[in-house]
């Protein structure tokens, strides 16, 4: 590969952003749990004077990316291998992300522009699946991850005919659920840190320990974790979307501690145990065995009636968001759906209805079942592509 040349300030920023994307990919391949939030924070670090101090930048990245002792032990070797070009032990996995011959180190990238920090500009957020480009030409600053976001993020799932593109969409949907969980968990922890100390109760509680305050009591009720309960429509009219939605739901169950999943068509099936399989292929196989009759008509009202009667009391608490993924075509009576939606609304905190048809030009929710359900829905949003699924996270963060 030929040596890199930097003609403009934008070139330097683009290459460093691409290198950062490749480094994050390397960390993920080595077992680190890194999401879009951590990647965005790392990009901000590269815009500070730390970029001129390799040791301090490494320490900052270590604090940002390492959440476990095992991560801490591996990080220095991965950092040195990727940014400095030093070798790593054979036991450490660096999958295709080591600096290629002729690729400049981070110090050389900065020196190429006369040590000017503001050249690392760019307000870029990492998208799921991003990584640095693997080409035999001089990098142009475009990232493979950005290309994936552009090519797949805005494409309606029903228009994906290429098997490879559909496979990538499935994988990105699952990674998207994982990234949502990382961001929401960080926000929950920040909220809990903000609770004030209850000095009176702390002192009173310490009497049993001879006056030593072994436990700090904080004011306010303990915040429950956000729970997601997903109801997925698997009827024939949803065939073009069921595959991606199933992978998205699998990602939710695989990463959210508080989550339940149900599939419905002509009847309701509790599928949390099937989709909790770590291996997505095995999970889908188990799902197929459990959900006999998938692809037929749908009776949303009757499915919700079964859910309200047999499952709601067990899976719903005060901070539960019920997420319904359906096109709203119901072969049952609309008034039944309306009554069951009202009953469900009284139990949970929010109801989100994700309808892939909203992304279709000229769509209006004129179906009788959809009209009956809408008065009880807090968020009625599209779900026809990856971008629409990603837009759900800020809403969930406010619950």
Please report the pLDDT score of residue 7 as a whole number: 39
Q: Provide the sign of the torsion angle of the four alpha carbons 99, 102, 107, 109, taken in this order.
A: negative
Q: Looking at the predicted structure, is the pLDDT value of residue 53 above 70?
A: yes
Task: Give the position of tokens 């072969």.
Answer: 331
Secondary structure (3-state) at 161: coil
At 138-189, the pLDDT tens digits run 344 444 444 544 567 888 888 887 788 878 888 888 888 877 877 776 666 6
Q: What is the pTM of this model?
A: 0.58
Structure tokens at 110: 């900065």
Task: Say which residue, 112 or 76, is predicted with more confidence.
Answer: 76
Task: Decide yes or no: CATH 3.40.50.410 for domain 227-397.
Answer: yes
CB 326 within 8 A of CB 298: yes
- The whole-number pLDDT of residue 344 equals 96
Report the DSSP beta bridge partners of residue 322. Answer: 229, 351
Residue-range domain boundaries for the chain: 9-122, 227-397
DSSP classification of residue 226: P
Q: Tell me the pLDDT tens digit for each residue of 83-92.
A: 876 554 433 3
- Mean residue pLDDT across the chain: 76
So what's the pLDDT on residue 114?
Answer: 42
**126: closest CA among 80, 182, 53, 83?**
182
Task: Name the pairing type of β-strands 268-270 and 259-264.
Answer: antiparallel
DSSP category for residue 159: G
- Among 190, 177, 165, 142, which residue's Cα sits nearest to residue 35? 177
Q: What is the pLDDT of residue 341?
A: 96
Q: CA 170, CA 318: separation in Å to the nearest integer?
A: 32
Nearest to 22 by CA among 48, 51, 1, 42: 42
Sign of CA dihedral 365, 380, 167, 284: negative
Radius of gyration of the chain (CA): 25
Cα–Cα distance measured from residue 262 to residue 271, given in angstroms and rounded to the nearest whole number: 5
The pLDDT value recorded for residue 25 is: 84
């Amino acid at each position: 590969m030929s040596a890199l040349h930097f003609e403009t300030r934008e070139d330097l920023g683009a290459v460093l952003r691409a290198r950062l994307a490749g480094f994050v990919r390397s960390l993920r391949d080595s077992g680190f749990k890194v999401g879009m939030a951590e990647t965005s924070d790392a990009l901000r670090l590269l815009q500070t004077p730390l970029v001129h101090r390799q040791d301090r930048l490494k320490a900052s990245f270590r604090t940002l990316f390492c959440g476990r002792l095992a991560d801490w032990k591996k990080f220095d070797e991965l950092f040195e291998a990727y940014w400095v070009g030093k070798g790593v032990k054979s036991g450490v996995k660096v999958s295709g992300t080591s600096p290629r011959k002729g690729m400049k180190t981070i110090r050389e990238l900065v020196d190429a522009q006369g040590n000017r920090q503001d050249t690392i500009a760019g307000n870029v957020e990492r998208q799921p699946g991003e990584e640095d480009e693997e080409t035999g030409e001089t990098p142009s600053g475009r990232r493979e991850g950005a290309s994936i976001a552009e090519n797949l993020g805005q494409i309606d799932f029903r228009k994906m005919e290429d098997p490879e593109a559909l496979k990538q969409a499935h994988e990105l949907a699952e990674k998207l659920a994982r990234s949502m969980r990382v961001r929401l968990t960080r926000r929950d922890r920040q909220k809990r840190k903000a609770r004030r100390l209850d000095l009176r109760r702390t002192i009173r509680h310490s009497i049993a320990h001879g006056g030593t305050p072994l436990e700090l009591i904080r004011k306010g009720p303990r915040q429950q974790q956000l729970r997601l309960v997903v109801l997925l429509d698997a009827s024939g009219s949803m065939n073009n979307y069921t595959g991606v939605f199933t992978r998205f739901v699998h990602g939710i169950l695989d990463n959210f501690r508080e989550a339940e999943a149900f599939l419905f068509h002509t009847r309701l099936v509790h599928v949390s145990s099937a989709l909790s399989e770590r291996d997505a292929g095995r999970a889908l196989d188990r799902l197929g065995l459990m959900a006999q009759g998938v692809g037929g008509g749908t009776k949303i009202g009757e499915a919700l009636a079964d859910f309200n009667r047999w499952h709601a009391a067990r899976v719903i608490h005060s901070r539960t968001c019920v997420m319904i993924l359906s096109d709203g075509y119901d072969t049952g009576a609309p008034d039944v759906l309306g009554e069951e939606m009202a009953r469900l609304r009284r139990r949970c905190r929010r109801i989100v209805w994700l309808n892939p048809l909203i992304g279709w030009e000229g769509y209006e929710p004129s179906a009788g079942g959809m009209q009956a359900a809408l008065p009880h829905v807090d968020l009625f949003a599209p779900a026809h592509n990856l971008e629409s699924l990603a837009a759900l996270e800020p809403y969930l963060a406010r619950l």
